Amino acid sequence: MKLYEYPKLGEQAYRETLPNGLSVVVVPRPGFTRKMAYFVTDFGSIHREFQLEGERFCVPAGIAHYLEHKMFDLPGRDVSAELAELGANVNAFTSYDMTAYYFSCTEQFDKCLDLLLEFVSVPYFTAESVEKERGIIDQEIGMNADAPDSRVFEMLMEGMYCHHEIRVPILGTSESIREITPEYLELCHKAFYNPANMILCVVGDVEPETVSCIASARLGDALRPMGEKLPHKDEPMACVEHLRQARMEVAMPTFQMGFKCEPIGVGEAAIRQEIVGDLAAEALFGESSELYLRLYEQGDIDSSFGGGFETVDGCALLTCGGDSERAEAVRDAVLAQAAKLAEQGIEEKAFLRMKRSALGRRIRDLDSFDSTCFRMCAYHFSQFDYFDFPRVYESVTVEEVQEFLRTVAQPERCALSVIAPIGGN
């Protein structure tokens, strides 16, 4: 494996692409007991239309998440129990644009890693087990329907996007999951659980060569045909609906608002755009912004308020939210402040302070194995080496951030989603 050094961060990374196309990254952490591995596919809930070996497919909503649940089955074996016996904590999640399987352990790392690679790479779906899972996932959908934080975000996506699949909840719906069959699951597995579409990232005090040897032995060397995602439909920058409201059993109204942004693409330009978006979010409504203080002091927001710049394959948005009795007033204040910043500009000194703060928080975040693995993988799919972030931060200018705000913070790009208490005003 090839060694890369990042002296400013006190980090190193070993990297290699195996003959089967799998990217392997090992971040050594000498002196730590815990070891963590992420095995991730560049396939999430939005990737419903694709081509495989010349044929076009459209799969039911919620299938990426359904597949995540079913991957833990191996013939006659209980993977979770085997990993637990080795002392590993195993889990998985499905997001809009990726599915991750991961574990952390303190001992017997090699065995745990091999087992992770095995269960994620071996498809085993019986009609009976797929049927049984439907009940469990339907329950999860029910639980999600009771969770205001998820609902308010999903409603915002419905309001903001007209074509992009982010409109559809990651879990799918009770109706859409009824269409899921073992055949569909096999198809998605074949198309996207292909080493060439995946990354294996390990953080911990491990031998890098062992990691790539285990991966090679378990996954084989052959390159196989892979699913090709269809390009995203052109998405207008105006929102479909500027306000969506619902009532739920909540103590206090809760809201999310968003500004639609141009998708960021891949590579260094994309990461630069992401950092610009992050800094714009800080300048506009971050905790040290003028606006945050004013809204907080007026009692229009509380410490639950927060936001940032979110990117998903094919879309990007500036979003913030929290609990508030006056969500529409908060939205108007954010719009007005964005216009003011775009016009008057951001002070250079304040900008440098913001950059230093954002950089410091990213560096601190490297202490978290989870966050480091997650970011290494996500940025890999964006074709960028995550540990290069300090260099990009240094070069971002205040003009870029102002320009971003000028473009993005427009009323037609803005939507608001509010959940109010049942029986309230």
357 binds other proteins per the rule CB under 8 A:
yes
148 binds other proteins per the rule CB under 8 A:
yes
337 binds other proteins per the rule CB under 8 A:
no
Compute the CA torsion angle 205, 206, 212, 217 (nearest 10 deg). Answer: -140
Q: Which of residues 61-100 bind other proteins (CB under 8 A)?
A: 80-81, 84-90
Q: Is 68 a catalytic residue?
A: yes
CB of 423 to other proteins, least distance (A): 9
Q: Is 266 helix (H, G, I), strand (E, B) or coil?
A: coil
353 binds other proteins per the rule CB under 8 A:
yes
Out of 11, 16, 49, 68, pick the active-site residue: 68
178 binds other proteins per the rule CB under 8 A:
no
- Pairwise CA distance, residues 239 & 408, whole Å: 12
- Pairwise CA distance, residues 365 & 116, whole Å: 25
395 binds other proteins per the rule CB under 8 A:
no
Q: Which of residues 188-227 bind other proteins (CB under 8 A)?
A: none
- In DSSP terms, 84 is beta-bridged to none
368 binds other proteins per the rule CB under 8 A:
yes
- Pairwise CA distance, residues 14 & 37, whole Å: 14
Q: Is 256 helix (H, G, I), strand (E, B) or coil?
A: strand
CB of 249 to other proteins, least distance (A): 5
146 binds other proteins per the rule CB under 8 A:
yes
- Please provide the DSSP assignment of 48-115 as one string: -EEEETTEEEE--TTHHHHHHHHTTEETTEEHHHHHHHTT-EEEEEE-SS-EEEEEEESS-HHHHHHH
- Pairwise CA distance, residues 227 & 199, whole Å: 16
170 binds other proteins per the rule CB under 8 A:
no
One residue of 41, 254, 256, 417 binding other proteins per CB under 8 A: 254
Which residues contact other proteins (rule: CB under 8 A)? 8-10, 29-34, 80-81, 84-90, 104-107, 132, 135-136, 139-140, 142-143, 145-149, 248-252, 254, 287-290, 292-293, 296-297, 299, 302-304, 323, 353-354, 356-361, 363-364, 366-369, 422
Q: Which residues are catalytic?
A: 68
